[in-house]
Structure 1
Amino acid sequence: MELSKGDYNHEVNNIICDEAINVPGYDPSIQLQLGEERRALLKADLFILPFIVLCFCFLQFDRTNIGNALTDTLRKDIHVDNSDINLAQTLFTVGFVITELPFNMISRYIGAERFLPVTMFLWGIATWSQIFMKDPSGLCAARFFIGALEGGYIPSIALYISKLYTNQELALRYAIFWGSNSFAGILGGPLSIGLLSLGGRGGLHGWQWLFLIEGSLTCFLGVVMYLYLPHSPASPKSFFGKSYNIFTDREATILITRAIKNDPTKGMRYGKPVLPSHILETFMDWRLYGHIVAALLSMVMISPMNTYAPSIIKSLGFTSLQANGLNSVGSACALVLSVTLAFSSDKLGERGFHIAVGYLWGAAGLLWLALAADGVSKWVLYGGVVWTQMGMGSAQAISAAWLTAKMEDHKRPVALAAYVMSIQLANFPGNVLFQTQDAPRYTHGLIIAASCVIAAAVVILFWKLLYRVFDNGDRGVEAKTTVIELGR
């Protein structure tokens, strides 16, 4: 088929020569033996992903343990009401958003494995420092600093993961990573029961023990993270002249080469900073906006549900300890749903419909909880809480993987930061959605949240149509980018 001049230029612009790729471990001439690729991939799955999940669990503990603390005597001890709590959570979001992009740019340049352990150690200090809170001002200050220090963590780790896998494998791995929210929810309830029960010991309230122990563990994990995560599969950490690597040289070469062969843009700016022109170029890319608008609308529900779900469950007639324990069930179900959706999405190579299913699942739970008759059993209402928690964020990993695949690698740090920022910006309307006068069911807030989630599903399906017409359907940049080997 003869190409027009415009088509020719387009094709040339999307061809990358091996000579232009200078990444340690990259070897386009490698010949694989049977089972080698599978074993290298399994090693990344077993030695990198679980540790990243553990670290993200503590980020989630430290950002949501305020909900567990509210079932204890926190309100009375520091004299706060819903308005104070909503303001504190809003300031948390402000801190998170303003550091998201700059922290992600720093992380991209010096390495997530170097920068993020430092921020993790510092937000651990901010978390346990909450034991000194005496009034609403102290709560607001603490939440702001925790949010600011957590900024950049999620997109930086997502970018770190993307270097290990092909674009077609990312939805499942991102779902496991984002599943840390669910793991934290599963573990957070029982953990909070134990920590809150320490109230009175050492002169501390239960909520003070909760913040002290979880914050201290976060600090410890930040140190371990710095020592453990390699710079890349082919670039191990070195200490006192000795280095240790999780991967053999051949395993590292296999992982790096297969990821770059799948998407050659991953090899073009290795070790180089994000430039201002890249930020502008990313925000001028139309593909970004469907994902961030849908993410914002779909996540309006997450902040109020994370904060008030234990209190809602308690209002149904359960004790504080029972409410914290029952709050874990929805997180366990959410983990199953998110991983199932992501596995199906990767297997079928389809993104948009899977995202819409996850969104609408959460909307159904919100409407269930909001519209159930007043006289129904407490277990029926509790079912609505669980169903809502199942859908919360269940499709965000698929959308992030889709966005990652659609963006060239120099745009990915900014695009991922913008995506996570949009999720956090949803906290602004979310933090004022549940008002004291609407307690304990918060019916009006639930209906508004459900409407936003349904709108998000419409947006993502419309974007799927645009991709179908203008941008190779559900496929990413690998569909239009070729790597050639000089001399062959």
Structure 2
Amino acid sequence: MTSRHGFYACRALIGILEGGFIPDLILWLSYFYTAAELSIRLSFFWTTLALTQIVTSILAFGILHMRGVHGMAGWSWLFLIEGLFTLVIGISAFFLMVPSPVQTKKPWNKKGWFTEREEYIIVNKVLRDDPTKGDMHNRQGITPKMLWQGISDYYLWPIYLIGLVAYEPMNVLGAYLTLVLKGLGFGTFEVNLLAIPQNVLHIILLLAITWLSERFNNRLGWSLFSPIWTVPLMLLLRFWKGALVNKWGTYVVVSLILANPYIHAICVSLCSRNSQSIRTRTVSASLYNMFAQAGSIISSNIYRTADAPLYKAVVLRSYQ
């Protein structure tokens, strides 16, 4: 990649290839778990994302020191090595993932994942929890009419709107975290290590809020904990006059905002458990993800040079 057009083409290709990953994964997991179990398993899934951020931050600290090896920049080695990890995992998943709980036997795994009795237990508990999961088989495609019916299920629209706005405060700072920390005076290598604490706290809060939402059978009520956590911290960041002077204090506030109790698993589970059909479940997982990604686009355009001096503190310094 050597030009702006190549960059745009590469980014578009990544989007095309990644677009169906999370919706497909959510639908796949719904074949194995009940609605209550799905929330917890999805929280495990997004926990691995945060764990990946921790591991890659540690790796990046070492890999970036490879600058100049074989004439390559440190970031080039970072992309190459971490990209190889993704490639290996992707190829492995092709062989390890199975179509359903009753289709786990493969030539390289003749015993499969479960015994016949375990398969009966899994299928029965899932269907008793939600009989609509037996309406379509997992190789049956949806027609344009079924797609429209899924989109038109307006009972799910409020959840899509939550996905659009709920993560914008974190996404704004997350997108500019490197610039923010460097603008505060931290070095390149320090920036990678400083991203670790907020990811650790993020994991703890994600697992806790998801478990509590199922424990007390109140998902939207516990989801309110997210803005209750975030809004005071955003106000502090907005009006704190010492943000440019006290870099460690600002780092703590930014880290707490990014460690926000993540309600993504709860909302995705809400879409799945309220879909009432595999058709709608397939579409709702995709639409919710599209709204969440649209929120990321909004977040990336909130802080702009033309907005100065209305944006404050750490962001202002990052742009100077």
Q: Fold conserved (TM > 0.5)?
A: yes
Q: Does 1:260 align with 2:127?
A: yes
Q: Does 1:215 align with 2:88?
A: no
Deviations 1:342-398 (A, max 9, x none): 000111111111112123323333333332213552121011111111117x01111
Give the match's secondary structure for 1:426: helix
Q: Distance in 2 between matches of 1:406 and 1:176?
A: 21
Q: Does 1:415 align with 2:245?
A: no
48, 58, 62: which one aligns with 1:190: 58
Q: Distance in 2 between matches of 1:313 and 1:370?
A: 16
Q: Percent identity, aligned pairs only?
A: 27
1:316 maps to a residue whose letter is L
Q: Does 1:236 align with 2:107?
A: no
Deviations 1:152-193 (A, max 9, x none): 111111111111111122221111112233222222211211
Q: Does 1:270 align with 2:153?
A: no
Contact 2:46–2:265 under 8 Å retained in 1: yes
2:115 maps to 248
How has the CA–CA distance of structure 1 residues 137 and 367 changed in structure 2, closer, same or farther, with 3 Å as cutoff?
Answer: farther
2:318 maps to none
Q: Distance in 2 between matches of 1:359 and 1:279?
A: 33
1:377 maps to 246
> Offset at 1:243?
2.8
Written as runs of structure 1 = structure 2, the 5 A alignment for 1:209-358 is 209-239=77-107, 243-271=110-138, 272-358=140-226
2:255 maps to 386
> Offset at 1:137?
2.9
Q: Distance in 2 between matches of 1:147 and 1:415?
A: 19
Q: Distance in 1 between matches of 2:218 and 2:25?
A: 24
Q: Does 1:163 align with 2:31?
A: yes
> Offset at 1:442?
5.0
Q: Distance in 1 between matches of 2:309 and 2:104?
A: 52
Contact 1:182–1:334 under 8 Å retained in 2: yes
Deviations 1:431-457 (A, max 9, x none): 2222246799953998xxxxxxxxxxx
> Offset at 1:201?
0.5
How has the CA–CA distance of structure 1 residues 246 and 273 changed in structure 2, closer, same or farther, with 3 Å as cutoff?
Answer: same
Structure with greater Cα Rg: 1
> Offset at 1:258?
0.5
Q: Distance in 2 between matches of 1:237 and 1:439?
A: 60
> Offset at 1:425?
0.9
Deviations 1:59-91 (A, max 9, x none): xxxxxxxxxxxxxxxxxxxxxxxxxxxxxxxxx
1:256 maps to a residue whose letter is V
Q: Distance in 2 between matches of 1:321 and 1:332?
A: 19
Q: Distance in 2 between matches of 1:317 and 1:134?
A: 30
How has the CA–CA distance of structure 1 residues 441 and 201 changed in structure 2, closer, same or farther, with 3 Å as cutoff?
Answer: farther
C-alpha root-mean-square deviation of aligned residues, in Å? Answer: 2.4
How has the CA–CA distance of structure 1 residues 341 and 383 changed in structure 2, closer, same or farther, with 3 Å as cutoff?
Answer: same
Written as runs of structure 1 = structure 2, the 5 A alignment for 1:473-484 is none
Contact 1:363–1:391 under 8 Å retained in 2: no
Q: Distance in 2 between matches of 1:405 and 1:287?
A: 12
Contact 1:359–1:395 under 8 Å retained in 2: no
Q: Distance in 2 between matches of 1:442 and 1:138?
A: 32
2:267 maps to 399
Q: Distance in 1 between matches of 2:60 and 2:169?
A: 23
Q: Does 1:153 align with 2:14?
A: no
How has the CA–CA distance of structure 1 residues 204 and 183 changed in structure 2, closer, same or farther, with 3 Å as cutoff?
Answer: same
Provide the TM-score with structure 2 as the length reference.
Answer: 0.90
Contact 1:231–1:237 under 8 Å retained in 2: no
Give the match's secondary structure for 1:180: helix
> Offset at 1:429?
1.8
Contact 1:361–1:390 under 8 Å retained in 2: no
1:435 maps to 304
2:43 maps to 175
2:198 maps to a residue whose letter is G
Deviations 1:276-296 (A, max 9, x none): 222222222221110111110
137, 147, 154: which one aligns with 2:5: 137
Structure 1 unpaired stretches of 5+? 1-132, 447-488
Provide the TM-score with structure 1 as the length reference.
Answer: 0.60
How has the CA–CA distance of structure 1 residues 413 and 253 changed in structure 2, closer, same or farther, with 3 Å as cutoff?
Answer: same
How has the CA–CA distance of structure 1 residues 365 and 152 changed in structure 2, closer, same or farther, with 3 Å as cutoff?
Answer: farther
Contact 2:44–2:207 under 8 Å retained in 1: yes
> Offset at 1:251?
1.7
Q: Which runs of 4+ in 1 moved over 4 A?
A: 436-442
Deviations 1:285-336 (A, max 9, x none): 2211101111101233444433311221222221111111111211111111
Q: Distance in 1 between matches of 2:307 and 2:313?
A: 7
Q: Distance in 2 between matches of 1:276 and 1:323?
A: 47
Q: Distance in 2 between matches of 1:442 and 1:209?
A: 35
> Offset at 1:428?
2.3
